[in-house]
Amino acid sequence: MLTAIPRKLRDFLEQFNTFYILGHEEPDGDCLGSQKAIASVLNRTGRTALLCSPGPFFRPEVKGIEHLFASSFREAAAESGMVGQNTGSEAVIIVDCSTPERIGAGFAEEIKNYPVAVIDHHASGEEFGDVRFVNGNSPSTTILIYQLMKELGLEPTPEEAEDLLFGFLTDTGYFRHLDKSGADSMKLAAELVGYGASLKDLYFRMYGGRQLESKILTGKVLSRAVPHFGGKCIEIYETFEEKEAFGAENRDSDTIYSQLLGVKECEAVIFIREESRDKCSVSLRSRSDVDVGAVSKSFGGGGHKRAAGFEWTGTRAEISAKLLDVFSKIV
Ligand SMILES: [Mn+2]
């Protein structure tokens, strides 16, 4: 899994004075941890790095750092006292993002004026950017950033170590999704603990600090679980009324998936959420060889083999029937 750092990326980092650091929509710990860490490294090596994000910051574990991120290059430049003109020594670094759509429409327009480097760990997606450092076998983007730092001869500060380990923990479900291929990255994670990252603090940041409402909503959703095909596929849903009453910030999807994937026969989970009267978001999870990424793709979505999702225009009953038809053939 250990990765050679492309010469082109090192050149790119040396070539410019100012970097806009960008990630994907609905950012998670890996995206924001990667952004913060690479920005910190650039800042302490004499460059200016400006943090930007399309948001929204729904996830409770990242809410507290929303104020660090600007919602456009213009805003980021204004906040830093720059005039917001492209001086020719400005560039963009996009992290943890497999397709350009995921940076949001506003940023997709803004990046057109700049050279772009991409640092990412998604196995599939669209090749974009002028310089690419992508390793689909890395469990998180932060692990790639850490390897880049080592290559540059830099030791992480305690805050950088914490941001880097936070991304690793987020994307591995606090180590749970790692198999034996994770040995190299576990060694790197242990080094980050040595540089001052606290597993205890990061556990609380990921799983603590929730509202009681999120536990009640989790209970409601779980109580309606319906097994299909001898229990190999479990279907759950959240109504529009629940979204209105509890708020998207009280969704605790990871807990729900891990509970259901822990059921003996269960190979896959279908989670349908009514986002509005005629729109649903669908999330699919798999514990086995069932490729939910392929299912999601057939409905116009994306994702990985074991975690994928898509948007559906229509009712919950309609998409449920269509999905059960597909799953009846693959589980
Ligand atoms: Mn990631």
Q: How far is the CA of 15 from the centre of ligand 1 (A)?
A: 26
Please list the ranges in the chain whose pLDDT falls under 50. Answer: none
Distance 123 CA to ligand 1 centre (A): 11
Q: Identify the pLDDT of residue 99.
A: 87
Q: Model's pTM, two decimal places? A: 0.85
Residue 119 pLDDT: 97
Question: Which pLDDT belongs to residue 313?
Answer: 96
Strand order of the sheet with strand 90-95? 48-51, 18-22, 90-95, 116-120, 131-134
pLDDT at 325: 97
Rounded Cα distance between 326 and 290, Å, is 11
Looking at the domain covering 212-330, what would its CATH class be? alpha beta
> Which tokens hold the place of 112?
């057109």
Tell me, what DSSP letter sits at residue 239? -
For residue 274, the tally of other CB atoms under 10 A from its CB is 20
Going from the Cα of 109 to the center of ligand 1, the distance in angstroms, rounded, reads 23
- Compute the distance from residue 141 Cα to the ligand 1 centre, in Å: 5
pLDDT at 303: 77
**CA 241 – ligand 1 centroid, Å:** 31
Q: How many angstroms is it from 296 CA to the middle of ligand 1?
A: 18
Write down the pLDDT at residue 8.
96
26 vs 311: CA distance, rounded Å = 14
Which helix (DSSP H) or strand (DSSP E) does residue 226 occupy? strand 226-228
Q: What is the CATH number of domain 7-206?
A: 3.90.1640.10
Inter-axis angle of helices 183-194 and 158-171, nearest 10: 150
pLDDT at position 82: 78
Check residue 65 and give its pLDDT. 96
User: How many CA atoms within 13 Å lie on the side-chain side of 229?
Assistant: 19
Question: Sign of torsion, CA 124 127 128 130?
Answer: positive
How close is the Cα of 65 to the center of ligand 1, in Å? 17
Looking at beta carbons, which pairs linking 280-283 to residues 24 or more positions away fall under 8 Å?
280/311, 280/312, 280/314, 280/315, 280/316, 280/319, 281/309, 281/310, 281/311, 281/312, 282/309, 282/310, 282/311, 282/312, 282/319, 282/323, 283/253, 283/307, 283/308, 283/309
Domain ranges across the chain: 7-206, 212-330
Distance CA 174, CA 196 (A): 17
Ligand 1 centroid–CA 297 distance in Å is: 19
User: Ligand 1: distance of its center to the CA of 31 in Å?
Assistant: 6
Which residue in this structure is represented by tokens 């669908």? 282
Query: How far apart are alpha carbons 151 and 126 in whole angstroms?
Result: 27
pLDDT confidence of residue 1? 59
